[in-house]
Amino acid sequence: MKKFEKKFIGKGTKVKSLEIIRLTISEEALKEALENELSDYKGNKYLVIEVASLKETDKYGRSHTVYINKKLKE
């Protein structure tokens, strides 16, 4: 079975009346991700992030979470 590690980097909120999720990621988290979390594909570097809805909106009104999901080596 494949194992993954999630590294949470921010949260987001759905924009009213639109199918848009507005994300908030700190500069520190973004810099760290760009230095340590890039994936290589055919000689190009990519930052792969995932956005998932939360079961409940948090106390700040955020309804989504943002994370980097890395496959762990077996």
CB-CB contact of 25 with 8 (8 Å): no
Picking from 70, 69, 64, the residue whose alpha carbon sits closest to that of residue 52 is 64
CB-CB contact of 13 with 61 (8 Å): yes
Please state, in angstroms and rounded to a whole number, the distance separating the CA atoms of residues 23 and 64.
8
Residue 36 CA, chain-centre distance (Å), reads 14
For the stretch 50-70, pLDDT in tens is 999 999 999 999 999 999 987
Please state, in angstroms and rounded to a whole number, the distance separating the CA atoms of residues 51 and 71.
17
For the stretch 8-43, pLDDT in tens is 999 999 999 898 999 999 999 999 999 988 888 899
